[in-house]
Amino acid sequence: MAQPFRAKILPSAETLIDSALRKAAKKTGMKKTTREKERVRVLTFYGEIGRKLASAHDSLPRINKMHDFQKELAELTIGLADLRRVLAHFRKSRKIIAKLKKETIYKLENTTANNEIRRISREFLGRAISVVKKLDRSIRLYNEYVRKLREIPDVRYDIPTLIIAGYPNVGKTTLLKTLTGSKPKIAAYPFTTTKLNLGYMEKNAMELQVIDTPGLLDRKLSERSNVERKSVLALKHLANAIVFIIDPTLTSGYSIDEQERLLKEIKKQFAVPILVVISKVDIASEEEIKKASEVAKKLGLECILNSSKTLKERLWNLTTESANYLRN
Ligand SMILES: Nc1nc2c(ncn2[C@@H]2O[C@H](COP(=O)(O)OP(=O)(O)OP(=O)(O)O)[C@@H](O)[C@H]2O)c(=O)[nH]1
Ligand SMILES: [Mg+2]
């Protein structure tokens, strides 16, 4: 399963070099002969640089193992080709230094004069340091990418997911609370000023993720900028089902026609089952509820009142069945 982004930040090339040189110098103190000293200096310097670069690299999830949702947002935020280029630069540099190290160790084994041994060791450090110095730009880019990748919301990819859509003020967060009870976990969402609210339902040791998307699926996509639209559409990689809330009263400030238009758009963009929930039925007139349910009917969608006792069960079944269907 794809891991959330907790990748490590790397120190600058200069700091990397300084700390590797310092560690290497310290180790030489424990050795007696010049050859042993220089050998341990070379091996320690090589080891330190290699370890730091490898641990940064390994702390990133493999690009081809990322979940499509992560991949799409990563593509938008940093560009995966750019990330691949930086990682390739790290790998290549490690290889070069490894090769230099191998040659140097061989030379050290076959040299007896102390001044020659020191010269060989200095030559290695000079060349290896210049390889690391050339990594400076890549390290800065890598760190910038990692900071951006950390903004990708830390959601679960291993359980079915239900996404809540609907205009502002229609009752999305209220539904999330009804379904999941507990206080939602909040995650930032790239390219938008809003945050996802994440809640979890549980039944028979199974879990279901419910995501409230304030500010995301509450406006026509055509009114959004290109990246913003793409970042919203990345949600489709996460959704197994959608619950679309229609507020039949005018308290949220959106007419039934406006709500129908948004629903139509979401239906077009998301190829998953959609259930319409009519909210605020306690204050809506029969006429208003009827109008809202006709919208669902017209679009061939099932609809349910938010007061219904079977609401939870219906949403659970819709989402888990859809997830099973997609998995099989
Ligand atoms: N009477 C009544 N009020 C409701 C119901 N559901 C939500 N509300 C009220 O409607 C208002 C908006 O509800 P929220 O759940 O915050 O709506 P939202 O869609 O999350 O709003 P945004 O986060 O701004 O997009 C709040 O004042 C709620 O108390 C309902 O079933 N009946
Ligand atoms: Mg809300």
DSSP 304: E
Residue 63 is predicted with a pLDDT of: 85
Q: Judge whether residue 127 has pLDDT over 60.
A: yes
The alpha carbon of 248 and the centre of ligand 1 are apart by a number of angstroms equal to 12
Instruction: Give CATH 3.40.50.300 domain extents, the chain.
Output: 161-327
Q: Tell me, in angstroms, the distance from the centre of ligand 2 to residue 130's CA.
A: 54
Q: Give the pLDDT confidence of 27-41 residue by residue, as tens digits.
A: 998 889 999 999 999
Q: What tens digit of pLDDT does each residue of 150-166 get? A: 888 889 999 999 999 99
Q: For ligand 1, is residue 158 a contact (CB within 6 Å)? A: no
Residue 172 C-alpha to ligand 1 middle, in angstroms?
A: 7
pLDDT per residue over 238-268, tens digit each?
Answer: 999 999 999 999 898 899 999 999 999 999 9
From-to residues of CATH 1.20.120.1190 in the chain? 13-149
C-beta of residue 244 within 8 angstroms of C-beta of residue 175: no
| Count of H-run helices and E-run strands, the chain | 11, 7
Most confidently predicted of 1-5, 35-39, 76-80, 192-196: 35-39
pLDDT > 90: percent of the chain: 68
Determine the pLDDT at residue 293.
96
CATH code reported for the domain at 161-327: 3.40.50.300
Residue 223 per-residue DSSP state: G
Query: What's the CA gap between 176 and 164, in Å, rounded?
Result: 8
Rounded percentage of the chain residues whose pLDDT exceeds 70 = 97
Q: Is the CB of 173 under 6 A from ligand 1?
A: yes
Amino acid at 118: R
For ligand 1, whether the C-beta of 77 sits within 6 Å is no
What does the pLDDT read at residue 186? 82
pLDDT tens for 263-304 read: 999 999 889 999 999 999 999 999 999 999 999 999 999 999
- Whether 214 is in the pocket of ligand 1, judged by its Cβ within 6 Å, is yes
Choosing from 163, 164, 167, 173 the residue with most ligand 1 atoms within 8 A of its CB, the one to mutate for a pocket test is 173
**pLDDT score at 233:** 81
Q: Which residues pair with 134 in a beta bridge?
A: none
φ, ψ of residue 267 to 5 degrees: the values are -60, -35
Q: Is the pLDDT of residue 2 over 60?
A: no
As a whole number of angstroms, the distance between CA 286 and CA 191 comes to 40
Token pair for 280: 């605020």
Ligand 1 pocket member 174 (CB < 6 A): yes
- Residue 193 pLDDT: 66
Is the CB–ligand 1 distance for residue 273 below 6 Å? Answer: no
Q: Can you tell me which atom of ligand 1 is nearest the CA of 245?
A: 19
pLDDT tens per residue across span 300-321: 999 999 999 999 999 999 999 9
Measured in Å, residue 215 CA sits from the centre of ligand 2 at: 9
Q: What is the pLDDT of residue 190?
A: 73
Tokens of 32: 């007696």
* Stronger pLDDT, 3 or 55, i.e. the higher one: 55
User: Cβ(149) to ligand 1 under 6 A?
Assistant: no
Taking CA atoms, 253 is separated from 49, 218, 222, 259, 296, in Å, by 60, 13, 20, 10, 19
Q: Which helix (H) or strand (E) holds 220?
A: none
**pTM (2 decimals)?**
0.82
Mutate to test the pocket of ligand 1, among 167, 169, 217 (most ligand atoms within 8 A of CB): 169
Residue 240 CA, ligand 2 centroid: distance in Å: 21
3-state secondary structure 129-148: HHHHHCCHHHHHHHHHHHHH
- Position 224 confidence tier, pLDDT thresholds 50, 70, 90: confident
Ligand 1 contacts CB of residue 70 (under 6 A) = no
Which parts of 170-240 fold into alpha helices (H)?
172-180, 226-233
- Percent of the chain that is helix, strand, coil (3-state, to 5): 55, 10, 30
Q: How many whole angstroms from 72 Cα to the centroid of ligand 1?
A: 31
Say yes or no: CB of residue 184 within 6 Å of ligand 1.
no
Q: Specify the pLDDT at position 218.
A: 72
pLDDT of res. 64? 86
The protein residue whose alpha carbon is closest to atom 7 in ligand 1 is 171
Q: Using alpha carbons, select from 44, 145, 41, 39 the residue that is nearest to residue 89.
A: 145
- Report domain 13-149's class: mainly alpha
- N- to C-terminal Cα separation, the chain: 17
Question: With a 6 A CB cut-off, is 178 part of the ligand 1 pocket?
Answer: no
Would you say residue 1 has pLDDT above 50? no
